[in-house]
Every structure is written in structure tokens, then in C-alpha cells.
Amino acid sequence: MPYELPELPYAYDALEPTIDEQTMRIHHGKHHQAYVDNLNKAIEGTEWDGKPLEQVLANLSSLPEDKQAAVRNNGGGHANHSLFWQIMKPGGGGDPSGSLAQAIGDTFGDADQLKAAVNDAGVKRFGSGWSWLVWDGSGLAVYSLPNQDSPLLQSDVPLLGIDVWEHAYYLRYQNRRPDYLGAWWDVVNWDEVGRRFDAARG
């Protein structure tokens, strides 16, 4: 069973003005679709074909050596974008609640300090990549990874990730990545991030 592009859970223009409609159309319909297609090509015929992507990425070194780079890049791209669409929503923003809010307070001080840490990691990422909030098995952590590398590669659970590839923001923000990162929190879906946190923590 090949991997498939998930439907966007809202309309392409639903995240305006934070993220513009054309960026969403190209990002979801072209970039994400290409990661899915190239993942399917790379993994076809291996014993990992059709396995849950989390398992594939956590066991990358078990794949045939000549497939590893393509699965790392395109499997990571599929996993990262599938999460990205879910952790945004129209009319998002505000503050986290429940156990996630508690953990953010304990780890970072408050939500504003968490946002500052995520934005700082995203601004400092040279070239393309993502800024991540993860559950590392014992607590929350913020870091950036290059390209489409997923936190799943190092067995961390991604809770929130901001795509800082230029394709994610260039039409509206051009070279102003810090402005994009600052505005992005207006569409964050804290309920979904909290759900992922509770599931990861068990």
C-alpha cells in the first residue's frame, strides 16, 4: 500500500493572512506530493514497503544502503509535512493548556519563552530545515534539524515543527524568516500539540 498525500484539514486560504493561499497550494499540492511520490519510489520492493513511517524512520539503517538517503529525505518530508498541516488551524494561536502548558512552564518558564526558543532555533538554521519541539523520552526539548531530517530518526517524538524552508514562506515574507516565525504562532493548533504530547508521554 503506497503512502498517500493526506488531505489538508482546512481550505487552502484558511490560514490567511499568516500563510497565503498560493503558498499553501504549492506547499501541499506540489512539495508534499513530491515527497510522497519519491518515498514510494524509493521504498517499493523493500521489506519496509507499507510499514508505518515512524518505524521506517526509526530503523533507517536497516534499509538497503542505496535507499537510505532517499527515504531519509522523502520519508522525513512526508512525516514532517503530515504533522505540519495538523498542528496549524484557522483561528489558532493563544496559549497551550492542560498537561502541555504545565510541562512548558516547568521546562521553559512560559509559552513565550518556548516560542522564543523555537524561533531562535529556526532563525539560526542555515539553509533549509525545521525548528522542533519534541518529547525526548523524558522531557520536552527544542532544536533544529537540517533538510527534511525528522526527530523520529533519533527516536524523539515530534510535537510541533515549523518548516523554515524558503518554500514555506518566501511568497509572503521573502527573506524575512524572523517575521514568518513570529507570525506563525497565530495559526498554531495547541489542542493538537497537546494531544500529541499526552500520547507521547503515555
Our CB check for Mn ion shows the closer of 27 and 196 to be: 27
- Is 194 within 8 Å of 100 (Cβ atoms)? yes
Q: How far is the CB of 35 from Mn ion (least distance, A)?
A: 8
For residue 134, how many other CB atoms are within 10 A of its CB?
24
Q: How far is the CB of 178 from Mn ion (least distance, A)?
A: 18
Our CB check for Mn ion shows the closer of 100 and 164 to be: 164
Our CB check for Mn ion shows the closer of 135 and 169 to be: 169
For residues 87 and 178, give the distance between their C-alpha atoms in angstroms, rounded to a whole number. Answer: 19
DSSP letter assigned to residue 30: I
DSSP letter assigned to residue 31: I
Q: How far is the CB of 81 from Mn ion (least distance, A)?
A: 6
| Residue nearest Mn ion, CB atom distance | 163
Contacting positions for Mn ion (CB under 5 A) = 163, 165, 168
Q: How far is the CB of 148 from Mn ion (least distance, A)?
A: 8
Our CB check for Mn ion shows the closer of 30 and 124 to be: 30
Q: Compute φ and ψ for 42, nearest 5 degrees.
A: -70, -35
- Is 79 within 8 Å of 57 (Cβ atoms)? yes
